Amino acid sequence: MAWYNFWQNKDMEEKLNPAQPYYDHKTEPSREKVVNYERAYEDLEIVNRGVNLIVDDASEIPIAVGGQVQGMSSVIKGIKRSRVELLLNKEPNPFQDISTFRRNLITDYLLDGNIFIYFDGVHMYHLPANKVTIHASDTTYIERFSFNEKVDYKPSEIIHIKDNSFYSIYRGVSRLKPALRTMVLMRSMRDFQDNFFKNGAVPGLVLKSPNTLSEKIKERMIQSWSARYRPDAGGRRPLILDGGIEIDSVSNVNFKELDFQSAIAENEKIILKALGIPPMLLDSGNNANIRPNMRMYYLETILPIVRKINFAMERHFGFKCKEDITDIPALQPELRDQSQYYSALVNTGIISPNEAREALGFDLVEGHDELRVPANIAGSAVNPDEGGRPPEGEDSED
């Protein structure tokens, strides 16, 4: 029995999942600190570009709302198809356009692994995933959702989309989690380079003295050097060394040896692969295989995300929700093959032209609901016994 209509039928209580009380009910906001991924999204160029690429592409795919799904007990009852169409493709609420709404959802999906949508019966509102806590139920599935531990929602009021996870049946895992170590390494390399330049791109110096100096003289000498020798300010003031003092460097490291460009490039590929983006799409080099990689990117990364959202909407509202890919340029070769496929079905009389038009995303045309009867040079396909040679006369004149 579904969790949202448990209270409607008490007689079926004994048919609940008997293992539910023994599940791991720890449903903290995230297994990892989301701030790690949020900071990486704000600071690291490749993370920002990769996440934005998926967010922008996935949010542009409209949803084709079909008829009611037969046999499915939806969460919301009595809502009209036109209202669902309006919510999913045009106006989710009075304050946001559909693009902003979808981009917020998919950003949460990538950074947190979860999407939470509040439906008040009229409009849909996005709830930031890192502030939503799932309270598990010992008998059904979810007892309630809470936002910032201040506002509680019934399970029937929340549309929850989770990414794949192993340890929890309630919350998904961010797609950036496998690349967390790589992102931390990239940040460390960047910080090291920044500190190198902040110090004037010159390693620290060691002053060697033949005599033992008192602590007071040492501190005074350090302050004097710090005030006068400042390459980070753009100038090097000449200094006079006396008393047998010599200068030595800590190391002979130069900036060329600190150039992590090759390592950073490899780490960027790891992050892109974790997100599901072929690195070639962001490579400015040879783009000979850009089309198959773009196709694979949509088929294996974008469309699965959109379908997970559509399945959740379909379960909540009860109407068939399917992604409309007719206007996606990267999938046009697939549509070309699809058009040839439907043309063959129409010309062989298997489906009607209107059925093919509907499958390809075109409007129906009046008078095109009948099956076409194919004809061949051997005669009529209605009756194969007829046709071919015209009937011969009884007698032929000489």
What does the pLDDT look like over 80-133, one tens digit per residue?
999 999 999 999 999 999 999 999 999 999 999 999 999 999 999 999 998 999
Buried b (16+ CB within 10 A) or exposed e, 21-58: eeeebebebbbeebebbeebbeebebbeebbebbbebb
Do 4 and 143 form a contact (C-beta atoms < 8 A)? no
For 273, the 3-state DSSP assignment is: helix
The token pair at 375 is: 């004809």
Query: Residue 382 has what pLDDT?
Result: 52
pTM of the model: 0.69
Distance CA 169, CA 20 (A): 11
Distance CA 203, CA 311 (A): 58
The token pair at 210 is: 């033949």
Query: Residue 86 has what pLDDT?
Result: 94
Question: Letter for the amino acid at 397?
Answer: E
Please state the length of the chain: 398
Question: Letter for the amino acid at 62?
Answer: P
Query: Residue 287 has what pLDDT?
Result: 66
The DSSP 8-state label assigned to residue 301 in this structure reads I
Distance between start and end Cα atoms, the chain: 87
Query: Residue 248 has what pLDDT?
Result: 61
φ/ψ of residue 362, rounded to 5: -100, 160
Query: Residue 197 has what pLDDT?
Result: 66
Query: Residue 318 has what pLDDT?
Result: 92
In the block, tokens 């690195």 appear at 279
For 367, the 3-state DSSP assignment is: coil
CA angle 77, 62, 297 (to 5 degrees): 125
For 96, the 3-state DSSP assignment is: strand
Query: Residue 13 has what pLDDT?
Result: 44
Query: Residue 32 has what pLDDT?
Result: 45
Query: Residue 361 has what pLDDT?
Result: 75
Distance CA 316, CA 318 (A): 6
Question: Letter for the amino acid at 103?
Answer: R
Q: Which residues of the chain fall below pLDDT 50?
A: 1-14, 30-34, 377-378, 380, 387
Q: Closest by alpha carbon to 25, among 152, 131, 171? A: 171
Q: How many CB atoms lie within 10 A of CB 371?
A: 13
Distance CA 134, CA 152 (A): 10
Distance CA 384, CA 28 (A): 70
Distance CA 57, CA 103 (A): 9
Do 91 and 122 form a contact (C-beta atoms < 8 A)? no
